[in-house]
Amino acid sequence: MTDFKRISPQQAQALREQGGVVVDIRDAHSYANGHIRGSTHLDNHSLPDFIAAADLDKPLIVTCYHGHSSQSAAAYLINQGFSDVYSLDGGFEIWRHTYPQEVEQGEPT
C-alpha cells in the first residue's frame, strides 16, 4: 500500500503542469468564491462518479482550506485505488497567496 505525500504549492504547480489533477474538498460556497484554476470540486455526492471515471494512476492533488482535511481525504483516495496522491500543504489559503493568477471563481460543475 502506498501512502499519500504532502507537497508545497510549488511542487503542486509543477505537477499540474505535468497533467496532475487537482481536487478541492472544501464546501461548495468556498469553492465558488475561489479555487485553483481547473480544479474539480469533490463532495460526498460527486465522489463516487469521480472515482469511477478517474485515471487511478494520474497524479492527484487534494486541497482543502489549510491542508489538514486534505490529508484524510488523500489517505481515503489511496484506499480507493489511486496510486499517486498528494495533499497540498497549507491548502487553498497558501495557494491563493502564492499563485493568485491561478485562482478562479465559479460554481462547481
Check residue 87 and report its DSSP letter: E
Q: Give the integer Cα–Cα distance in Å for 71 and 79.
A: 13
* Catalytic residue list contains 48: no
What is the per-residue DSSP string for 10-36?
HHHHHHHHTT-EEEE-S-HHHHHH-EE
> Which position among 64, 73, 74, 88 bears the catalytic label?
64
Strands 35-36 and 60-63: unpaired
Enumerate the active-site residues.
Answer: 64
